Structures are given as structure tokens and as C-alpha cells.
Amino acid sequence: MSETIVLAFSGGLDTCFCLHHLVKQGHQVHTVFIDTGGVSEQEKQQIAERAAQLGAIKHHLLDASQALWDDFVKPLIWSKGRMRGDYPLLCSDRYLIVALCLGLCDQLETKHFAHGCTAMGNDQFRFDHTVHALGDYQIWAPIRDLQDQVEGNLRDHELAVLADAGMTLSASHQDYSINENLLGVTISGSEIDQYQAPSEAAALWVKPHTEWPNTPFHCQLTFEHGVATHLNGETISGPELLQQLNQKLGAYGVGKHIYTGDVTVGIKGRIVFECPGIDALMVAHKALEDVVNSKHQNQFRDTIADRWTEMLYQGFYFDPHKKDLEAYLAQSQSHVSGTVTLTTTGGQLLATAVDTPWLIHDPSAVYAQNSSWSAEQAVGFIKLYGQSTQMVNQVRRSQ
């Protein structure tokens, strides 16, 4: 039976194969490219052309860059959430992609939604969990289904099928799986999967050392209640701020990482990722938050971050507990206002100055310089603070 299906369409290898496969089966496929930033107007036009070439009944372009900033980037920066201390969840645009695609399903009065996830990665959890959380829809996953039908490398099979259909993808899309959005870019496949050194082709935004500018880069980020609102004194929207930081800092080699993670299905996954803007926001926000929030607030931040990050990594974006965690994070930003200066000469990014009216600072008590307590008080405090350890060792030595 022919169905009307909404396909989340990136224009890459997997979703191109999905479109070809579903159309060949006789379905009426609406492709949807959700613009979450990071993709040029020329690339968006090329994606639309691929959809038309492969038989989409209609191609839709929806913008989600502001929603991504509001719903994801803000709590990400508040928490400093990085999976295993490294990967800042750059694929979290998936949740908004699904939500908008399901909205289109409702407009078209269809319950059929398709995605290009494999059975080997984490994206299938992000897509499927979101679909199940938001309503009663039928999920089509041609690439995941293909795994039981094809022996050998799936990408080689997809490329061969699309070549027979007259579709040739760029060399980079043939060798790598590339995802770009406002948050950054992730690259996997080829030598990356083999735990070899990434080639020059596995780089998009972050420039090599030989191309770094000769002059240092400085910028000032101003935050209001934990949200970046100004760049160098000028008001700027969140999406535009990230785009500028990605471009300017990528030119200085800032933001390139290699990450090996534990995939939810029990295997290891290795990617190269680039996120100059997210790195900058995290460095600046941490420098500000560290000096305006209490010791206990800053310590508990890590506990919240681990929990929040784990939930998003595994697909639980719409679980109520995520909102509970974000309510605490939002409250913790009440005094995180001020301006941070960022500096780089290439590669490393430093927060070199912080200006805020909420600085927790006593001029009469400066670390390693002067104090507002006596030496006798310090000695007494040391004794009492370590009393439990002293007592247990004293008892055990006496036996």
C-alpha cells in the first residue's frame, strides 16, 4: 500500500538512499530539511535538488536555529555538559528535527515518519524515543532494516544503489558520515573508524596550524543571567553569535577534538568533531560562573551535568526529569552576569579577564597574599578540619 511518509532529509548518503528506497516502493515521500545552522544557502539548494532528483513529492525547509539555541544551547552552557568530559552532545539537534517533522506529519494527516539511522549507533535512540514520546506514529527506518538484508559494508551497498539511480555524492560524503549544524560538525567513517590519524579531508571548520593568523584574537562575551547576549559590546542573537564564533575561532585552530564513546548498543564509536563556538561559550561562562557562584553551587554543577548529559546522549530529551534538572540550572544562573575576555594565539583558548558586579571577593583576604584571620585561627581550623582522619589513624596505630 502506498503511504504518505515524512522523511527527515539531510541530503547525505543515508537519507538519499532512504528516499530512493521509499519512492521505489511506491510511497509518496515528503522530504524535510531542518535548518539548525552550519549549512550554507548553496548547500541547502543542493539538498533540495537531490530530493527532487530522487523523487520526493515535495521538499520542505524549516528553520530551527533559534529553537536549538533556546531549548538546548542554554542548558548545555549552564551545565558544561560533555559526555565523558569531552563530547558536548553536538547531535542534539535530532530531537528538534523529529519534533518538527512530526508537526508536518500532523499537517499532512499522516502517521508515517522515516529517518536514516542505522542499527549500530545512538541516533536511532534519539529519533525513536522522541517519536514514541510525542505521539502514535509509525517509524520507517530503511537503513536499519537494510542491515539484515546486506552482507558487508552498508555504505558501499548504498553508494552502488544510488549510482545505479544516477546519483553521485561528493567524495567527502562517500568516505565520511558528516553532520553539520549550529553546534558544530561531527565526522566519522574511513580511517577515523579504524583508529588511525584523521586525514586532511576529515576537517571542515578548524584550520591547520599553517593557516592560523599571525595576530592574536581577542573578543568579549557578555552574559545576562547565564545567557550570552553581546559580542564585543554589540547585541547579538544566539544563533548569529555561534556562527561568528565558529568562523572566527575555527580560523585559529580552536575547537577540534577526537572522541571515542561507548555507544548505547554496547560498542565503541569514534568521531572527529569541531565546535569552536560551543568551546568558547563554555570557557567564558565557566570563568564567570566560577567567580560569582558559591563553592557548593559550582561543585553540584558537575553532578547535574553528568545526569543531564547522560539523558540527552541516550535519547531521553523529552523525559520530565530533564526539565527538573534544567529548572535547577536556570535558578543557578541568577547572578551569572558580566563580561569575559577570550584570547587565543591559535589552538588554545583562554578566558583572560572577568568583569562582573557579583564577583565574590574580599580585598582583605586574597589567596597567598593576605588574610582576614590570624595564624592561630588557621592552625585551629586545620586541626578541626582534619580531626576525623587524625583520630582514625591514631586509633589504628595504637593496636
Q: Roughly what angle, to the nearest 10 degrees, separates helices 154-164 and 13-24?
A: 60
Q: Is the domain of 227 the same as that of 347?
A: yes
Q: What single-letter amino acid sits at 251?
A: A
Per residue in 253-295, pLDDT (tens digit) is: 999 999 998 888 888 989 999 999 999 999 999 999 999 999 9
pLDDT at 184 over 70: yes
Residue 167 confidence class, pLDDT cut points 50, 70, 90: confident
**d(Cα 66, Cα 72) in Å, to the nearest integer?**
10
Q: Is the domain of 262 the same as that of 302?
A: yes
Task: List the one residue out of 10, 22, 20 whose CA is nearest residue 112.
Answer: 22
Q: Please identify, among 155, 176, 197, the residue that sits at the C-terminal boundary of a domain.
A: 176
Give the pLDDT mean for 31-60: 94
pLDDT at 247 over 90: yes
Q: Is the domain of 111 the same as that of 244?
A: no
Is residue 252 classed as helix, strand or coil in its secondary structure?
coil
Residue 368 confidence class, pLDDT cut points 50, 70, 90: low
The three cell numbers locating residue 372: 582576614
Residue 217 confidence class, pLDDT cut points 50, 70, 90: very high
Q: Is the domain of 166 the same as that of 239?
A: no
The three cell numbers locating residue 214: 599571525
Mean pLDDT of the chain: 93
Rg (CA), the chain: 25
Q: Is the domain of 379 the same as that of 234?
A: no
Q: Please identify, among 176, 192, 209, the residue that sits at the C-terminal boundary of a domain.
A: 176
Per residue in 331-343, pLDDT (tens digit) is: 999 999 999 999 9
Give the pLDDT mean for 66-70: 95
Q: 47 — phi, psi (to 5°)?
A: -65, -45
Q: Give the side-chain half-sphere CA count within 13 A for 349.
A: 31
Q: Is the domain of 99 the same as that of 30?
A: yes
Residue 366 confidence class, pLDDT cut points 50, 70, 90: confident
Q: Is the domain of 333 the same as that of 373?
A: no
168-174 contacts at long range (C-beta below 8 A, 24 or more positions apart): 169/12, 169/13, 169/16, 171/201, 172/201, 173/12, 173/13, 174/13
More confident of the two residues 151 and 347? 347
Over pLDDT 70: what percentage of the chain? 98
CB 270 within 8 A of CB 260: yes
Q: Is the domain of 161 the same as that of 200?
A: no
Say which CATH number the domain at 291 has.
3.90.1260.10
Range of weakest confidence among 170-179, 227-236, 286-295, 299-308: 170-179
Give pLDDT, residue 26: 97
pLDDT at 173 over 70: no
pTM flag (> 0.75): yes
Q: Please identify, among 119, 148, 176, the residue that sits at the C-terminal boundary of a domain.
A: 176
Give pLDDT, residue 222: 98
Q: Is the domain of 165 the same as that of 226?
A: no
Residue 118 confidence class, pLDDT cut points 50, 70, 90: confident
Give the pLDDT mean for 170-196: 86
Per residue in 303-347, pLDDT (tens digit) is: 999 999 999 999 999 999 999 999 999 999 999 999 999 999 999
**d(Cα 24, Cα 18) in Å, to the nearest integer?**
10
Per residue in 25-43, pLDDT (tens digit) is: 999 999 999 999 878 899 9
Q: Is the domain of 89 the same as that of 145?
A: yes
What range does the domain containing 25 cover? 4-176
CB 93 within 8 A of CB 183: yes
Residue 369 confidence class, pLDDT cut points 50, 70, 90: confident
Residue 153 confidence class, pLDDT cut points 50, 70, 90: confident
Q: Is the domain of 126 the same as that of 188?
A: no
Residue 171 confidence class, pLDDT cut points 50, 70, 90: low
pLDDT at 172 over 80: no
Give the pLDDT mean for 77-106: 95
CA 338-342-348 angle, to 5 degrees, is 145
Q: In sequence order, which ranges of 216-319 are alpha helices (DSSP H)?
A: 238-250, 276-292, 295-313
**d(Cα 255, Cα 333) in Å, to the nearest integer?**
25
Task: List the one residue out of 58, 14, 11, 63 whose CA is nearest residue 35.
Answer: 63
Query: How many structural domains does the chain have?
Result: 3
Give pLDDT, residue 364: 78
Give pLDDT, residue 351: 98
CB 13 within 8 A of CB 162: yes
pLDDT at 123 over 80: yes
Q: Is the domain of 204 the same as that of 273?
A: yes
Give the pLDDT mean for 145-157: 83
